[in-house]
A and B are shown apart, each in its own frame.
Chain A
């Protein structure tokens, strides 16, 4: 194995092409990690907002008709405008967090920014979950106050609904709504826990490391 021995004989003479490291470099490496996590939080929140916009375009026509006919259209429009404004605010906050973490240069500031980012994400998740629950309750309570109209509207256009006897319709409809709603919210919480949970945990680890450097 002459070539391997040849390589071995020259191995220690590989030229050093990289500069030496200092405390500042190590610190910067930790910093870079945090800023890339915060960047991910920002990107994921954009992706999430786009996802909901696409979903709202995919709502079937029959659902839109129902909402229009039963008189929910105006209030739902107001709610969704309000919702998009809040989403935009969060988007700006995430972006500001990202920007700030990128330019921070002391460990203390970075730690403060990491805590702030974690807080923003927490509020974002709480807002989304609570908002979904409230919107769901609102729509169903509204349906409940108009249950006779709801029955006529639904049975007119759809044979499947018409097959359900009128007296048990109300209970079947609302129990189904409740089950579907609970499953949906459960899934939402699960997805948030997975995506943001992982990112927040990593941020927390960085925070702990910074604490070790700082104290």
Chain B
């Protein structure tokens, strides 16, 4: 029974682990803290897994647990993102699309998102993951209206960061 549970868990995590990696990349600055956070998220997921009833999609549940872990750890350490490290992130841009300014804009935007506070970051992350407001509100445990209002405010914040 437990072997089966574990087997299912590992399979699901393997299939969805890119989500966790993206969250780690957003909330940490170097490979070590990335791995630490990944480990912590895995342990939290494994701990919570027996309670996962399958009411929601595995990935939705995973977003919730992973973001909560990232936010809690981030609060504990009280470390703010000061230096930007772009080594961890790279985007595939096809040759015909390739353009220095696009690359530059992507990096600036990514840096701006990284500099948001932990909660805002979670919201933007889900937005970038192409979740609709209903899914965002479910994952973060806020109302749909609240999610929309917050997202608009964050867009404003990002605008001021990028165009001071």
Contact = CB atoms under 8 A, between A and B. Distances in A.
Interface in B65-105: 88-93, 102, 105
Interface in B105-149: 105-106, 108-110, 113, 124, 127-130
B102 A6 contact: yes
A128 B130 CA distance: 59
A33 B109 contact: no
Given A22-B10, A32-B39, A17 B88 contact: yes
Interface string A1-29: 10110111011111111101111001001
B2 A215 contact: yes
B155 to A, nearest CB: 5
Contacts of B108: 3
Contacts of B46: 26, 209
A21 B110 CA distance: 26
A90 B42 CA distance: 34
Interface in B1-48: 2, 6-7, 10, 13-14, 17-18, 21-22, 25, 38-39, 42-43, 46-47
For chain A, which range describes its interface: under 10, 10 to 19, 20 to 34, or 35 or more residues? 20 to 34
Given A14-B22, A21-B17, A26 B42 contact: yes
Given A10-B91, A15-B92, A21-B14, 6 more contacts: A3-B106, A7-B106, A14-B90, A21-B10, A209-B47, A212-B2
Interface of B: 2, 6-7, 10, 13-14, 17-18, 21-22, 25, 38-39, 42-43, 46-47, 88-93, 102, 105-106, 108-110, 113, 124, 127-130, 155, 158-159, 162
